[in-house]
Amino acid sequence: MLVVVCPGQGSQTPGFLEPWLQNPEYAEHLRTMSQQSSTDLISAGTVGDADAIRDTAVAQPLIVAAGLLTLDALFADGRRAAIGGIAGHSVGEITAAAGAGVLSTADALTFVGERGRAMKAAAALVPTGMSAVLGGDEAELLARLTELGLQPANFNGGGQIVVAGELTALAALAADPPAKTRIVPLQVAGAFHTRYMLPAVEHLAEVAGTLSPLDPTLPLWTNRDGTLVSDGSGFLDLLVGQVSSPVRWDLCMQAFAEAGVTGIIEVAPAGALVGLAKRALRGIPSVAIKTPDDLPAAFDLIDQQA
């Protein structure tokens, strides 16, 4: 079974859309998606520096648009029928929702544009951030987080948990970390997937009410607990709540294994999720589509799985 995965915030790099824009069809598609998301995606993905594309209001539509562009190329010529399922990490769940047929491209881009702007506004209320914690004992880490008023934001599997909260508490964690852990501060603008994002949840619930979700036509796993979701409206509700809830990517990968995954393809801007899979799903062949030059390898993997 071949699974397509869609990355989240932090996967973008300066200029990563340049190779895609060499194709006039892709360039025109990106212009349309810029209008739908109210974001200048072409400028952000070509000349935007690291700070510019780290901006939450820019990064989120940029990542989803790149994923949607990749999905269109990947699923062309009947290849979608060979895909066994799809899932996304954090904002990548919006990409996955479109790939599974839950949201139209226009609705996905409207939603992610509003999501990015709402989360940026929520992050501006209190100085917060995120850090990756590598290694150590999970129970010990969670107890330490409770002491400091921090929250686990992403359970990424492979011994990696991203934690979030106020900057002073993150500094205290780094100064006195749990045994056998390594703390890596992340260059993000706020404590995503925690209680600090509740103002964004309220806004996105209103936005969701204007959309028209359909039931998925591909197996679709949720970040909430790694289970399959068959109801489109229910998945849209999960997308809203996900903004202030932990991402359980570890459980998604566990679900892939239980479903019998035999191959993984990550859409642009790819690399992070394939890296996690190599540690948690050892031996499973994978392809990370970073540029159009990677598409033939993905097509070959699909053909091998057919």
pTM for the structure as a whole: 0.95
- The CATH number of the domain holding residue 60 is 3.40.366.10
Res 158: pLDDT: 85
Tell whether 209 and 255 lie within a shared domain. yes
Res 107: pLDDT: 97
Identify whether 38 is a catalytic site residue: no
- The CATH number of the domain holding residue 168 is 3.30.70.250
The parts of the chain modelled with pLDDT lower than 70 are: 306
Res 44: pLDDT: 94
Domain of residue 166: give its range.
Answer: 128-185
Tell whether 117 and 214 lie within a shared domain. yes
Res 87: pLDDT: 98
Res 305: pLDDT: 82
Write the CB contacts of 209 (distance below 8 Å, at least 6 apart in sequence): none
Tell whether 73 and 6 lie within a shared domain. yes
Number of domains in the chain: 2
Identify whether 203 is a catalytic site residue: no
User: Out of 193, 203, 244, 286, which one is annotated catalytic?
Assistant: 193
User: Out of 90, 131, 244, 286, which one is annotated catalytic?
Assistant: 90
Distance CA 199, CA 216 (A): 28
Tell whether 181 and 199 lie within a shared domain. no
Query: Considering 161, 185, 209, which residue would you say is the last residue of a domain?
Result: 185
Tell whether 168 and 232 lie within a shared domain. no
